[in-house]
Protein backbone atom coordinates (compact mmCIF):
# COMPACT_ATOMS: atom_id res chain seq x y z
CA UNK A 1 0.00 0.00 0.00
CA UNK A 2 1.29 3.42 -1.00
CA UNK A 3 0.12 6.55 0.81
CA UNK A 4 -1.15 7.95 -2.51
CA UNK A 5 -2.20 4.88 -4.50
CA UNK A 6 -2.98 1.21 -3.96
CA UNK A 7 -1.36 -1.58 -5.95
CA UNK A 8 -3.95 -3.95 -7.38
CA UNK A 9 -3.53 -7.70 -7.02
CA UNK A 10 -3.30 -9.32 -10.47
CA UNK A 11 -3.58 -5.92 -12.16
CA UNK A 12 -3.31 -5.75 -15.95
CA UNK A 13 -3.58 -3.32 -18.83
CA UNK A 14 -7.38 -3.77 -18.80
CA UNK A 15 -7.84 -3.09 -15.08
CA UNK A 16 -8.97 0.50 -15.83
CA UNK A 17 -12.58 0.95 -16.93
CA UNK A 18 -13.46 0.75 -20.59
CA UNK A 19 -10.63 -1.42 -21.91
CA UNK A 20 -10.69 -4.91 -23.39
CA UNK A 21 -7.91 -7.05 -24.79
CA UNK A 22 -7.08 -10.34 -26.44
CA UNK A 23 -4.06 -12.49 -27.12
CA UNK A 24 -4.21 -15.12 -29.86
CA UNK A 25 -2.01 -17.40 -31.96
CA UNK A 26 -1.87 -16.63 -35.67
CA UNK A 27 1.09 -18.83 -36.62
CA UNK A 28 3.85 -16.21 -36.63
CA UNK A 29 5.86 -18.20 -34.07
CA UNK A 30 7.14 -21.67 -34.82
CA UNK A 31 5.86 -23.05 -31.52
CA UNK A 32 2.30 -21.82 -32.22
CA UNK A 33 2.33 -19.72 -29.08
CA UNK A 34 0.18 -16.54 -28.89
CA UNK A 35 1.65 -13.90 -31.17
CA UNK A 36 -1.04 -11.27 -31.78
CA UNK A 37 -2.43 -8.93 -29.13
CA UNK A 38 -5.21 -6.38 -29.39
CA UNK A 39 -5.98 -3.64 -26.86
CA UNK A 40 -9.17 -1.60 -27.34
CA UNK A 41 -10.70 1.37 -25.53
CA UNK A 42 -14.49 1.59 -25.55
CA UNK A 43 -14.22 5.35 -26.14
CA UNK A 44 -11.62 7.57 -27.80
CA UNK A 45 -8.52 7.83 -25.62
CA UNK A 46 -6.05 10.67 -25.33
CA UNK A 47 -2.64 9.27 -26.25
CA UNK A 48 1.02 10.01 -25.66
CA UNK A 49 3.97 7.98 -26.88
CA UNK A 50 7.73 7.65 -27.05
CA UNK A 51 9.62 5.65 -29.63
CA UNK A 52 13.14 4.40 -30.28
CA UNK A 53 15.67 6.98 -31.42
CA UNK A 54 17.28 4.40 -33.70
CA UNK A 55 18.03 5.64 -37.21
CA UNK A 56 16.99 2.18 -38.38
CA UNK A 57 13.46 2.36 -37.02
CA UNK A 58 10.89 -0.28 -37.95
CA UNK A 59 7.89 0.55 -40.13
CA UNK A 60 5.43 0.51 -37.19
CA UNK A 61 7.60 3.05 -35.37
CA UNK A 62 7.65 5.35 -38.40
CA UNK A 63 3.89 4.97 -38.64
CA UNK A 64 3.47 5.63 -34.92
CA UNK A 65 5.59 8.77 -35.06
CA UNK A 66 3.43 10.14 -37.87
CA UNK A 67 0.24 9.16 -36.09
CA UNK A 68 1.22 10.76 -32.80
CA UNK A 69 2.78 13.93 -34.17
CA UNK A 70 -0.63 15.65 -34.33
CA UNK A 71 -1.83 14.71 -30.84
CA UNK A 72 -3.93 11.83 -32.12
CA UNK A 73 -6.61 10.14 -30.03
CA UNK A 74 -6.62 6.35 -30.27
CA UNK A 75 -9.10 3.52 -29.90
CA UNK A 76 -6.94 0.45 -30.46
CA UNK A 77 -3.43 -0.98 -30.39
CA UNK A 78 -2.49 -4.10 -32.35
CA UNK A 79 0.80 -5.84 -31.56
CA UNK A 80 2.36 -8.80 -33.31
CA UNK A 81 5.36 -10.74 -32.00
CA UNK A 82 7.59 -13.08 -33.98
CA UNK A 83 8.32 -10.50 -36.68
CA UNK A 84 9.67 -6.96 -36.20
CA UNK A 85 8.67 -5.63 -39.64
CA UNK A 86 11.98 -3.77 -39.57
CA UNK A 87 14.32 -3.26 -42.52
CA UNK A 88 11.48 -4.30 -44.82
CA UNK A 89 11.39 -1.20 -47.04
CA UNK A 90 8.24 0.15 -48.65
CA UNK A 91 6.52 -3.19 -48.22
CA UNK A 92 6.87 -2.90 -44.46
CA UNK A 93 5.16 0.49 -44.52
CA UNK A 94 2.32 -0.84 -46.69
CA UNK A 95 1.91 -3.84 -44.40
CA UNK A 96 1.67 -1.59 -41.35
CA UNK A 97 -1.04 0.48 -43.02
CA UNK A 98 -2.87 -2.68 -44.06
CA UNK A 99 -2.76 -3.98 -40.50
CA UNK A 100 -4.19 -0.76 -39.10
CA UNK A 101 -6.85 -0.80 -41.80
CA UNK A 102 -7.86 -4.37 -41.03
CA UNK A 103 -8.23 -3.60 -37.32
CA UNK A 104 -10.22 -0.46 -38.08
CA UNK A 105 -12.65 -2.25 -40.40
CA UNK A 106 -13.39 -4.99 -37.92
CA UNK A 107 -13.82 -2.57 -35.02
CA UNK A 108 -15.69 -0.03 -37.19
CA UNK A 109 -13.35 2.78 -36.31
CA UNK A 110 -10.93 4.92 -38.33
CA UNK A 111 -7.49 3.58 -39.35
CA UNK A 112 -5.83 6.62 -37.76
CA UNK A 113 -7.30 5.50 -34.42
CA UNK A 114 -5.16 2.34 -34.50
CA UNK A 115 -1.52 2.14 -33.38
CA UNK A 116 0.50 -0.85 -34.62
CA UNK A 117 3.55 -2.40 -32.96
CA UNK A 118 5.74 -5.32 -33.99
CA UNK A 119 8.56 -7.27 -32.35
CA UNK A 120 10.66 -10.23 -33.40
CA UNK A 121 13.02 -11.06 -36.26
CA UNK A 122 14.40 -8.17 -38.29
CA UNK A 123 14.48 -8.12 -42.09
CA UNK A 124 11.63 -10.54 -42.76
CA UNK A 125 8.41 -9.34 -44.46
CA UNK A 126 5.23 -9.78 -42.46
CA UNK A 127 3.14 -12.81 -43.50
CA UNK A 128 0.07 -10.69 -44.08
CA UNK A 129 -2.30 -13.62 -44.49
CA UNK A 130 -1.48 -14.65 -40.94
CA UNK A 131 -1.62 -11.06 -39.66
CA UNK A 132 -5.09 -10.48 -41.14
CA UNK A 133 -6.30 -13.80 -39.74
CA UNK A 134 -4.82 -12.83 -36.38
CA UNK A 135 -6.66 -9.50 -36.41
CA UNK A 136 -9.98 -11.27 -36.91
CA UNK A 137 -9.25 -13.83 -34.23
CA UNK A 138 -8.19 -11.11 -31.78
CA UNK A 139 -11.30 -9.00 -32.41
CA UNK A 140 -13.50 -12.02 -31.75
CA UNK A 141 -11.56 -12.78 -28.59
CA UNK A 142 -11.73 -9.32 -27.02
CA UNK A 143 -12.56 -9.46 -23.32
CA UNK A 144 -12.43 -7.16 -20.27
CA UNK A 145 -10.44 -10.02 -18.72
CA UNK A 146 -7.97 -10.33 -21.61
CA UNK A 147 -5.03 -8.51 -20.07
CA UNK A 148 -2.92 -11.54 -19.21
CA UNK A 149 -3.52 -13.11 -22.63
CA UNK A 150 -2.47 -9.92 -24.39
CA UNK A 151 0.67 -9.61 -22.25
CA UNK A 152 1.61 -13.19 -23.11
CA UNK A 153 1.06 -12.64 -26.83
CA UNK A 154 3.57 -9.79 -27.09
CA UNK A 155 6.44 -11.82 -25.61
CA UNK A 156 9.45 -12.99 -27.61
CA UNK A 157 12.33 -14.34 -25.50
CA UNK A 158 10.52 -13.25 -22.32
CA UNK A 159 9.91 -16.02 -19.80
CA UNK A 160 6.79 -14.47 -18.30
CA UNK A 161 4.19 -11.74 -18.93
CA UNK A 162 4.75 -8.36 -17.31
CA UNK A 163 1.61 -6.63 -16.02
CA UNK A 164 0.59 -4.38 -13.13
CA UNK A 165 -2.05 -1.84 -12.06
CA UNK A 166 -2.71 0.67 -9.31
CA UNK A 167 -5.66 2.78 -8.21
CA UNK A 168 -6.16 6.11 -6.48
CA UNK A 169 -8.90 8.62 -5.84
CA UNK A 170 -9.08 11.77 -7.98
CA UNK A 171 -11.89 14.29 -7.43
CA UNK A 172 -13.72 11.66 -5.40
CA UNK A 173 -13.59 9.19 -8.32
CA UNK A 174 -11.73 5.89 -8.35
CA UNK A 175 -9.02 6.12 -11.01
CA UNK A 176 -6.96 3.18 -12.21
CA UNK A 177 -3.73 2.93 -14.17
CA UNK A 178 -2.74 -0.40 -15.70
CA UNK A 179 -0.03 -1.64 -17.98
CA UNK A 180 1.82 -4.40 -19.76
CA UNK A 181 5.32 -4.64 -21.18
CA UNK A 182 7.62 -7.05 -22.96
CA UNK A 183 11.37 -7.24 -23.20
CA UNK A 184 14.23 -9.50 -22.19
CA UNK A 185 17.05 -8.82 -24.65
CA UNK A 186 18.15 -6.03 -27.02
CA UNK A 187 17.29 -3.76 -24.10
CA UNK A 188 18.88 -0.34 -23.74
CA UNK A 189 16.06 2.00 -24.69
CA UNK A 190 16.62 5.62 -25.58
CA UNK A 191 13.08 6.92 -25.75
CA UNK A 192 11.92 10.46 -26.37
CA UNK A 193 8.45 11.86 -26.88
CA UNK A 194 6.81 11.48 -30.27
CA UNK A 195 6.26 15.20 -30.46
CA UNK A 196 10.04 15.60 -30.44
CA UNK A 197 10.35 12.97 -33.22
CA UNK A 198 11.66 10.63 -30.94
CA UNK A 199 12.34 -0.14 -26.73
CA UNK A 200 13.00 -4.95 -28.10
CA UNK A 201 11.04 -3.14 -25.46
CA UNK A 202 7.30 -2.53 -25.76
CA UNK A 203 5.20 -0.99 -22.99
CA UNK A 204 1.58 0.12 -22.84
CA UNK A 205 -0.06 2.04 -20.01
CA UNK A 206 -3.81 2.65 -19.78
CA UNK A 207 -5.90 4.73 -17.45
CA UNK A 208 -9.59 5.52 -17.09
CA UNK A 209 -8.73 8.99 -15.81
CA UNK A 210 -9.60 12.02 -17.88
CA UNK A 211 -6.22 13.56 -18.69
CA UNK A 212 -5.30 16.41 -20.99
CA UNK A 213 -3.00 15.52 -23.85
CA UNK A 214 -0.33 17.90 -22.62
CA UNK A 215 -0.32 16.51 -19.09
CA UNK A 216 -0.37 12.87 -20.26
CA UNK A 217 2.68 13.56 -22.39
CA UNK A 218 4.32 15.34 -19.46
CA UNK A 219 3.71 12.29 -17.25
CA UNK A 220 5.11 9.95 -19.89
CA UNK A 221 8.19 12.10 -20.53
CA UNK A 222 8.96 12.61 -16.85
CA UNK A 223 8.63 8.88 -16.19
CA UNK A 224 11.22 7.88 -18.79
CA UNK A 225 14.40 8.53 -16.77
CA UNK A 226 12.73 6.87 -13.78
CA UNK A 227 11.86 3.75 -15.76
CA UNK A 228 12.58 2.62 -19.32
CA UNK A 229 15.45 5.00 -20.03
CA UNK A 230 17.34 3.77 -16.96
CA UNK A 231 17.34 0.08 -17.90
CA UNK A 232 19.88 -1.91 -19.87
CA UNK A 233 20.20 -5.65 -20.32
CA UNK A 234 22.85 -5.76 -23.02
CA UNK A 235 23.45 -2.21 -24.18
CA UNK A 236 21.72 -2.72 -27.52
CA UNK A 237 18.71 -0.60 -28.42
CA UNK A 238 16.00 -1.89 -30.71
CA UNK A 239 14.46 -0.86 -34.01
CA UNK A 240 10.99 -1.15 -32.46
CA UNK A 241 11.04 0.30 -28.92
CA UNK A 242 7.66 1.84 -28.07
CA UNK A 243 6.04 3.25 -24.93
CA UNK A 244 2.38 4.29 -25.24
CA UNK A 245 -0.05 5.77 -22.72
CA UNK A 246 -3.84 5.96 -23.19
CA UNK A 247 -6.41 7.84 -21.10
CA UNK A 248 -10.09 7.30 -21.94
CA UNK A 249 -11.72 9.45 -19.22
CA UNK A 250 -14.25 6.86 -18.06
CA UNK A 251 -13.47 7.33 -14.36
CA UNK A 252 -15.48 10.56 -14.33
CA UNK A 253 -12.90 12.89 -12.75
CA UNK A 254 -12.34 16.48 -13.78
CA UNK A 255 -9.68 16.69 -16.46
CA UNK A 256 -6.19 16.29 -15.06
CA UNK A 257 -3.79 19.02 -16.08
CA UNK A 258 -0.49 20.15 -14.61
CA UNK A 259 -2.46 22.66 -12.52
CA UNK A 260 -4.91 20.13 -11.06
CA UNK A 261 -4.48 19.87 -7.26
CA UNK A 262 -4.01 16.08 -7.56
CA UNK A 263 -1.73 16.13 -10.58
CA UNK A 264 1.26 15.00 -8.50
CA UNK A 265 -0.71 12.05 -7.11
CA UNK A 266 -1.62 10.80 -10.57
CA UNK A 267 1.96 11.30 -11.74
CA UNK A 268 3.21 9.27 -8.77
CA UNK A 269 1.00 6.33 -9.73
CA UNK A 270 2.05 6.65 -13.38
CA UNK A 271 5.74 6.73 -12.40
CA UNK A 272 5.34 3.70 -10.16
CA UNK A 273 3.71 1.69 -12.93
CA UNK A 274 6.31 2.62 -15.53
CA UNK A 275 9.09 1.84 -13.06
CA UNK A 276 7.54 -1.49 -12.10
CA UNK A 277 7.29 -2.59 -15.73
CA UNK A 278 10.83 -1.42 -16.51
CA UNK A 279 12.23 -3.29 -13.53
CA UNK A 280 10.28 -6.41 -14.57
CA UNK A 281 12.02 -6.30 -17.95
CA UNK A 282 15.46 -6.33 -16.32
CA UNK A 283 14.46 -9.07 -13.88
CA UNK A 284 13.48 -11.14 -16.93
CA UNK A 285 16.62 -10.27 -18.90
CA UNK A 286 17.77 -13.05 -21.20
CA UNK A 287 19.60 -15.55 -19.02
CA UNK A 288 19.76 -13.10 -16.12
CA UNK A 289 20.46 -14.47 -12.65
CA UNK A 290 21.11 -11.19 -10.80
CA UNK A 291 19.37 -7.82 -10.82
CA UNK A 292 21.75 -4.88 -10.35
CA UNK A 293 20.86 -1.36 -9.23
CA UNK A 294 23.83 0.85 -9.99
CA UNK A 295 23.87 4.40 -8.61
CA UNK A 296 26.59 6.76 -9.74
CA UNK A 297 26.80 9.94 -7.67
CA UNK A 298 29.28 12.72 -7.08
CA UNK A 299 29.25 13.45 -10.81
CA UNK A 300 29.78 16.85 -12.41
CA UNK A 301 26.46 16.61 -14.32
CA UNK A 302 23.48 14.26 -14.53
CA UNK A 303 24.49 13.44 -18.10
CA UNK A 304 27.96 12.37 -16.94
CA UNK A 305 26.51 10.33 -14.07
CA UNK A 306 24.35 8.53 -16.60
CA UNK A 307 27.21 8.07 -19.06
CA UNK A 308 29.36 6.50 -16.37
CA UNK A 309 26.56 4.31 -15.00
CA UNK A 310 25.75 2.97 -18.47
CA UNK A 311 29.42 2.28 -19.19
CA UNK A 312 29.68 0.14 -16.05
CA UNK A 313 26.28 -1.49 -16.54
CA UNK A 314 27.10 -2.49 -20.13
CA UNK A 315 30.66 -3.66 -19.41
CA UNK A 316 30.93 -7.34 -20.32
CA UNK A 317 33.66 -7.77 -17.72
CA UNK A 318 31.50 -6.27 -14.96
CA UNK A 319 28.41 -8.26 -16.01
CA UNK A 320 30.27 -11.57 -16.08
CA UNK A 321 31.81 -10.87 -12.66
CA UNK A 322 28.32 -10.28 -11.26
CA UNK A 323 27.20 -13.57 -12.80
CA UNK A 324 30.07 -15.39 -11.15
CA UNK A 325 29.55 -13.73 -7.76
CA UNK A 326 33.05 -12.26 -8.02
CA UNK A 327 33.60 -9.03 -6.00
CA UNK A 328 36.03 -7.77 -8.64
CA UNK A 329 35.59 -4.07 -7.96
CA UNK A 330 38.56 -3.23 -10.16
CA UNK A 331 36.41 -3.89 -13.22
CA UNK A 332 33.88 -1.30 -12.06
CA UNK A 333 36.54 1.36 -11.56
CA UNK A 334 38.16 0.47 -14.89
CA UNK A 335 34.85 0.89 -16.72
CA UNK A 336 34.21 4.18 -14.95
CA UNK A 337 37.69 5.41 -15.83
CA UNK A 338 37.13 4.64 -19.52
CA UNK A 339 33.66 6.17 -19.62
CA UNK A 340 34.92 9.61 -20.59
CA UNK A 341 33.44 11.48 -17.62
CA UNK A 342 35.15 13.72 -15.11
CA UNK A 343 36.21 12.02 -11.88
CA UNK A 344 38.76 12.33 -9.11
CA UNK A 345 40.77 9.06 -8.90
CA UNK A 346 41.88 9.76 -5.33
CA UNK A 347 38.30 10.46 -4.22
CA UNK A 348 36.57 7.42 -5.75
CA UNK A 349 34.42 5.40 -3.36
CA UNK A 350 32.50 2.19 -4.01
CA UNK A 351 30.02 0.22 -1.92
CA UNK A 352 28.31 -3.05 -2.85
CA UNK A 353 25.31 -3.88 -0.69
CA UNK A 354 26.55 -1.16 1.67
CA UNK A 355 29.87 -2.94 2.14
CA UNK A 356 32.92 -0.67 1.53
CA UNK A 357 34.99 -1.87 -1.41
CA UNK A 358 36.93 1.30 -2.33
CA UNK A 359 37.82 4.42 -0.42
CA UNK A 360 39.87 7.30 -1.84
CA UNK A 361 40.51 5.28 -4.97
CA UNK A 362 42.08 2.26 -3.26
CA UNK A 363 40.98 -0.95 -1.56
CA UNK A 364 38.85 -0.15 1.49
CA UNK A 365 40.36 -3.03 3.46
CA UNK A 366 37.18 -5.09 3.72
CA UNK A 367 38.12 -8.78 4.12
CA UNK A 368 37.58 -10.86 0.96
CA UNK A 369 35.04 -13.16 2.63
CA UNK A 370 32.89 -10.11 3.46
CA UNK A 371 33.17 -8.89 -0.11
CA UNK A 372 32.13 -12.31 -1.41
CA UNK A 373 29.19 -12.41 0.98
CA UNK A 374 28.07 -9.00 -0.24
CA UNK A 375 27.80 -10.13 -3.86
CA UNK A 376 26.22 -13.51 -3.05
CA UNK A 377 22.66 -12.25 -3.59
CA UNK A 378 20.15 -12.21 -6.41
CA UNK A 379 19.81 -8.42 -6.22
CA UNK A 380 22.87 -6.21 -5.99
CA UNK A 381 22.92 -2.55 -5.01
CA UNK A 382 26.10 -0.79 -6.11
CA UNK A 383 27.01 2.81 -5.21
CA UNK A 384 29.90 4.51 -6.99
CA UNK A 385 31.02 8.04 -6.01
CA UNK A 386 33.12 9.97 -8.53
CA UNK A 387 34.17 12.88 -6.35
CA UNK A 388 33.60 15.41 -9.13
CA UNK A 389 30.31 17.10 -8.19
CA UNK A 390 26.89 16.53 -6.67
CA UNK A 391 24.84 14.97 -9.50
CA UNK A 392 23.68 11.36 -9.81
CA UNK A 393 21.90 8.81 -11.99
CA UNK A 394 20.69 5.27 -11.33
CA UNK A 395 20.67 2.43 -13.86
CA UNK A 396 18.94 -0.95 -13.56
CA UNK A 397 20.77 -3.81 -15.23
CA UNK A 398 21.60 -7.51 -14.83
CA UNK A 399 24.43 -9.97 -15.15
CA UNK A 400 25.57 -11.80 -18.30
CA UNK A 401 25.26 -15.57 -18.18
CA UNK A 402 25.96 -18.58 -20.40
CA UNK A 403 22.23 -18.67 -21.15
CA UNK A 404 22.32 -15.19 -22.71
CA UNK A 405 24.91 -16.39 -25.18
CA UNK A 406 22.90 -19.54 -25.98
CA UNK A 407 19.69 -17.60 -26.61
CA UNK A 408 21.32 -15.04 -28.87
CA UNK A 409 23.68 -17.39 -30.72
CA UNK A 410 20.76 -19.02 -32.57
CA UNK A 411 17.91 -16.51 -32.27
CA UNK A 412 17.37 -16.32 -36.04
CA UNK A 413 18.02 -19.95 -36.94
- Which residue in 343, 250, 258 sits closest to 304, CA to CA? 343
| 216: Cβ contacts below 8 Å, ≥ 6 apart | 46, 47, 48, 245, 247
Q: Say which residues have a Cβ less than 8 Å from residue 288's Cβ, sequence separation at least 6.
A: 233, 282, 398, 399, 401, 404
Q: Is 293 helix (H, G, I), strand (E, B) or coil?
A: strand
SS (H, E, C) the chain: CCCCCEECCCCCCCCCCCEEEEEECCCCCCCCCCCEEEEEEEEEEEEEEEEECCCCCCHHHHHHHHHHCCCCEEEEEEEEEEECCCCCHHHHHHHHHHHHHHHHHHHCCCHHHEEEEEEEECCCCCCHHHHHHHHHHHHHCCECCCHHHHHHHCCCCCCCCEEEEEEEEECCEEEEEEEEEECCCCCCCCEEEHHHCCCCCEEEEEECCCECHHHHHHHHHHHHCCCHHHECCCCCCCCCCEEEEEECCCCCCCCECCCCCCHHHHHHHHHHHHHHHHHHHHHCCCCCCCEEEEEEEEECCHHHHHHHHHHHHCCHHHHHHHHHCCCCHHHHHHHHHCCCCCCCHHHCEEEECCEEEEECCEECCCCHHHHHHHHCCCEEEEEEECCCCCEEEEEEEECCCHHHHHHHHCCCC
- Phi and psi at residue 400, in whole multiples of 5°? -125, 115
Q: Judge whether 12 and 163 are in contact, CB under 8 Å.
A: yes
Instruction: State the Cα–Cα distance between residues 132 and 94, nearest whole angstrom.
Output: 13
Between vectors from CA 93 to CA 91 and to CA 94, what angle results, nearest 5°?
A: 65
Catalytic residues: 200
Amino acid sequence: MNSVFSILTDGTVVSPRGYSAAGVAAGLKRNNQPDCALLVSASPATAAAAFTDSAVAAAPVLYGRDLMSSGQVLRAVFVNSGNANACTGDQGWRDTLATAGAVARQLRIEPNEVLVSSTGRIGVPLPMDKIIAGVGKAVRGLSPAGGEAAAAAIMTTDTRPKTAAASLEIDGCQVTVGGMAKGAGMIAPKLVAASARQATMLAYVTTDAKVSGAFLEECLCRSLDLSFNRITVDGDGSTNDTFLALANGQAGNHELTAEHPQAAEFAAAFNWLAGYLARAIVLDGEGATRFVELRVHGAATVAEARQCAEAVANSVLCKTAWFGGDPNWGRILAAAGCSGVRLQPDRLALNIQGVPMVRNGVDAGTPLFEQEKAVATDELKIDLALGAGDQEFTVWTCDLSYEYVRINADYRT
